[in-house]
Amino acid sequence: MPDRHGPLRPNRFAVELDGITIAGFQRVEIPSKRTEQIEYREGNDPAHHRRLWGRSTYEDLILERGANKENTDLYKWRTRVDEGNVDAARKTVAVVLQDEAGQSHIRWNFTNAWPKEYQPPTLESNTGGGQGNVATETYVVTFDEMERKEV
């Protein structure tokens, strides 16, 4: 195993859906987390205000991968949302950042996740068939909580 010093590269990662690794992702956008700032003024100090933290909120998780007939697991997951099957639609998603040898280092867990949006590929006849030109599907996933762990 290589001795890693310094930051990991962003091109080695895995995506898991309820503990099962799903292949073929080209891009994953880890969401940001923000905490509300609440300002208040104490009655005996009218000249200054104080700040407290409030609710934390998250952006959405973005999953993008190549479209092909074998990649149906995420679309079936999205279909459960369309059918109103809430219990089956809520899953745990994990994104795992790896080193060059495939060893896991950082893991983001997203609990009670469900795909709120599906974006089919944009098809263009003039893009050619060159390297890097593939049809991609994008899934926008919302969730209740995000946890970052070193593994």
Q: Give the pLDDT of the chain (151 residues) as one tens digit per residue.
A: 555 578 999 999 999 999 999 988 999 999 999 999 999 888 888 888 899 999 999 999 999 999 988 889 999 999 999 999 989 999 999 999 999 999 999 999 999 999 999 999 988 887 666 656 889 999 999 999 999 999 9
Q: What is the pTM of this model?
A: 0.86
Which stretches within 8-137 are classed as H helix? 73-82, 86-89
- Say what the alpha-carbon torsion angle 43, 48, 51, 52 is, to the nearest 10 degrees: -20
The reply to whether 29 falls in a domain is yes
Residue ranges making up the domain that contains 25:
13-150
Sequence-distant (≥ 6) Cβ neighbours of residue 130 within 8 angstroms: none
The reply to whether 36 falls in a domain is yes
What domain count does the chain have?
1
The reply to whether 6 falls in a domain is no
Q: Is 77 helix (H, G, I), strand (E, B) or coil?
A: helix
The enclosing domain of 72 has a CATH number of 2.30.110
